[in-house]
Amino acid sequence: MKSETSKQHQSESSKDITCGIITLSDSRKSKKADLSGQYIAEEIESRYTLKSRIIIPDEKEDLINAIETMISEDIDVILTTGGTGLASRDITVETVESLFEKQLNGFGELFRSKSYEEIGAAALLSRATAGIYKKSTIFSMPGSPNAVKTALGIIIDELPHIVHHVKK
């Protein structure tokens, strides 16, 4: 159901995309315990280049520093998982949205729509978001493995197309 223009843009887009993963968690300290980060890593590595993967606590300054570091390493797409809930320690959405130069509202809308199909009205609690900052695209998704699978199902094939437009 893709438009001809969308197909053309995808054909012109490079598949040479670098990605970074940031897991926000106060409880997961190792990559082995980070099931969502591991799933993202496996999916990214099967199509693109995974340049960085880190786990940080739910702290605003740690998240900003991690994003700035990844951008300085020329990472095209930053994927965050965790810290999007309603608890007082969940700071991801407020932090990344304060950085965005442009917001990709469609990601959150599609994510919540797909989540509603899967889990019902609990999808209301989702605060998945995405946007552009310093010519890098940031996708922030919940920390549950099922949520990550849903989110990646929406974005992974579109990354070349997105990066093509963001780098213009």
pLDDT for the residue 30: 67
How far from 74 is each of 28, 37, 78, CA to CA, in Å?
A: 27, 20, 10
Cβ neighbours of residue 135 closer than 8 Å, sequence gap 6 or more? 166, 167
3-state secondary structure of 151: helix
pLDDT of residue 148: 98
49: nearest Cα among 77, 24, 12: 77
Q: What is the mean pLDDT of residues 93-107?
A: 98
pLDDT of residue 70: 98
Residue 26's pLDDT is what? Answer: 79
**Residue showing tokens 């990550």:** 148
pLDDT of residue 86: 93
Listed by start position, the domains of the chain span 16-162
- What pTM does this model have? 0.93
Calculate mean pLDDT across residues 70-85.
Answer: 97
Q: What CATH homologous superfamily does 16-162 map to? A: MoaB/Mog-like domain (3.40.980.10)
Distance set, CA 59 to CA 13, 42, 96, 116 (Å): 35, 26, 12, 29
